[in-house]
Structure 1
């Protein structure tokens, strides 16, 4: 049984896993060779192809995060030199100047709306007071 595991099941599982991983990896995370070439290597050269893919084919874990903003002008950097997530967006909302500006604009909009509501409330209270008070100033 251990012989079957080591000679058939384990290499087959490694081959299938490496093939699926290679197919689902985004093109920008593939290293050294084009993705199509890696797929062919994994398919045509078991078990060396899957092992080569695991070692040299893909940016993994901390290496991906470290290289994303390591070099100025790197594709993962935005125009201001800040690290960006996939799609060119900043990594966090507090790093995005457009988002911060929109928060300030929203705050100003809310403040002006509150001032309008307060002024409207004062006007309505004044109208109610004037309507309830008699014209000669005496209370009834």
Structure 2
């Protein structure tokens, strides 16, 4: 029973490490070329996958998601917010002028 569980864990770890390696961009791989990591993961159970997970890939150690450059959403973009503010002020000014024009024309 214990051997079965160990075998299943070994296979699961190898599959996880292999899929992670295959999906990783070449620029983020450290130490060996991608093909060498794949061979290591497949041919050396436990050691290959664990080595890949700890050494083979640049990981974000800062905790949380990686920081993106620039605004994340339109409401965080200073240019968008400035244009939005200008549009709101222009619409209010036009509405005020239109309301004043209607009041002044009917008197």
Q: Structure 1 residue aligned with 2:80, among 102, 123, 131?
A: 102
TM-score norm. by structure 2 comes to: 0.73
Instruction: Please report the TM-score for the alignment, with normalisation by the length of structure 1.
Output: 0.59
- CA, structure 1 residues 91+120, in 2 after alignment: closer, same or farther (shift >3 Å)? closer
What does 1:1-140 align with in structure 2 at a 5 Å threshold? 1-6=1-6, 8-62=7-61, 85=68, 89-90=69-70, 92=72, 99-129=77-107
Task: Give the distance between the partners of 1:63 and 1:49, measured in 2 at CA.
Answer: 25
Number of corresponding residues? 104
* Cα 1:44/1:21, change in 2 over 3 Å: same
Structure with the higher helix share, 1 or 2: 2
Greater RCO (Cα-Cα under 8 Å, separation 6 or more): 2
Change (3 A) 1:61 1:13: same
Q: Provide the C-alpha distance between the structure 2 equivalents of 1:42 and 1:35, rounded to a whole number of angstroms.
A: 11
Task: Give RMSD over aligned pairs.
Answer: 2.7
Q: Distance in 1 between matches of 2:56 and 2:63?
A: 12
